[in-house]
Amino acid sequence: MEPLLAAHDVHAAIGASRILHGLSLAVGRGEVVALVGRNGAGKTTALRTLMGHVRPWQGTVRWQGQDITRWPAHARARAGIAYVPQDRRMFANLTVEESLEVAEAAHPNRRPREEIYELFPVLAERRRQLSGFLSGGEQRMLALARALVANPSLILLDEPTDGLAPVVVEQLLSRIAAVAAQGISILLAEQNVRFAAMLARRGYLIHKGAIRREGTVEELLADEEAAGRYLAV
Ligand SMILES: Nc1ncnc2c1ncn2[C@@H]1O[C@H](COP(=O)(O)OP(=O)(O)O)[C@@H](O)[C@H]1O
Ligand SMILES: [Mg+2]
């Protein structure tokens, strides 16, 4: 079957720096796929390119078989792709509820807020709190919740666990798993294969802007040679 999203031989640069060198990957319907690599490997650039924030100079990106390589980000968002950046751009002066309202205003086919609160009960509890006063894990949940408002089919999720304490990581991953259980595909950028393995069955190892290994997360975890070469251990 046609994958939901497929990148083939994508080359991309930021300014004069060439960053992606022939990246190819695919995400199926309802699948959680990990994109694992150390800091500077090209994960964020890959996700930004898939979202349309970076324009590749070679290669193709397909969405349900359709060539979307030249589509701007807003068209991809309308088609069902959401991007949750690594840096949490929060409206610190808005409450949780107001932040969701801002997202709702931008997306007419939005998902009912009660459904979002069911997925993230802690956000329901904190709905009148200012976003700036949420804990790190709660801020990540809010960022994900805001992306869900648009009712995406695929979420490009950039290092959600970055900087969180292990116990918080577990709580967050369980919420992401609940999102995935609704059939939403996720491409999860991660430095930590073990965290990625808690969600994904399959993954890609990225290094210097290209995929070096792909396989089940068990295969990636067992590949010590690749881990030594391409991951921070
Ligand atoms: N705005 C930028 N200008 C120039 N180089 C950049 C820029 N952003 C990232 N890079 C470089 O691109 C490479 C990949 O970065 P990035 O995609 O952020 O990797 P990751 O998310 O895996 O840490 C790194 O070498 C980084 O220094
Ligand atoms: Mg990054």
Per-residue confidence (pLDDT) for residue 46, from 0 to 100:
98
Ligand 1 centre and the CA of 40: distance in Å? 5
> For residue 42, which ligand has an atom nearest its CA?
1
- Which tens digits make up the pLDDT trace of 19-41? 999 999 999 999 999 999 999 99
Per-residue confidence (pLDDT) for residue 226, from 0 to 100:
86
> For residue 43, which ligand has an atom nearest its CA?
1
Q: Which two tokens stand for residue 147?
A: 């992306």
- Which of 63-72, 188-197, 203-212, 218-227 has the lowest average pLDDT? 218-227
How far apart are the C-alpha atoms of 62 and 69, rounded to whole Å?
7
Q: Domains, the chain, ranges and CATH?
A: 29-55+70-230 (3.40.50.300)
What's the whole-number mean pLDDT along residues 186-193?
95
Residue 181: CB atoms within 10 A of its CB come to 11
* 228 pLDDT tier (thresholds 50, 70, 90): confident
pTM: 0.95
Ligand 1 centre and the CA of 21: distance in Å? 13
Query: In 2-95, which ranges are continuous DSSP H helix?
Result: 43-51, 73-79
Q: Whose CA is nearest to atom 12 of ligand 1?
A: 19
Q: Residue 192: which of 211, 214, 164 has the closest Cα?
A: 164
Question: Please, what sign has the CA dihedral across residues 180, 128, 150, 156?
Answer: negative
Ligand 1 within 6 A of 5 CB? no
Per-residue confidence (pLDDT) for residue 157, from 0 to 100:
98
pLDDT at 3 over 60: yes
pLDDT at 89 over 70: no
How far apart are the C-alpha atoms of 4 and 72, rounded to whole Å?
18
Ligand 1 within 6 A of 39 CB? yes
Per-residue confidence (pLDDT) for residue 70, from 0 to 100:
97
- Which tens digits make up the pLDDT trace of 63-76? 999 999 999 999 99
Ligand 2 centre and the CA of 1: distance in Å? 30
pLDDT at 88 over 70: no
**Residue carrying the six token digits 């801002």:** 102
Q: Whose CA is nearest to atom 6 of ligand 1?
A: 14
How far apart are the C-alpha atoms of 166 and 160, rounded to whole Å?
12
Q: Residue 134: which of 109, 222, 124, 184 has the closest Cα?
A: 124
* 108 pLDDT tier (thresholds 50, 70, 90): confident
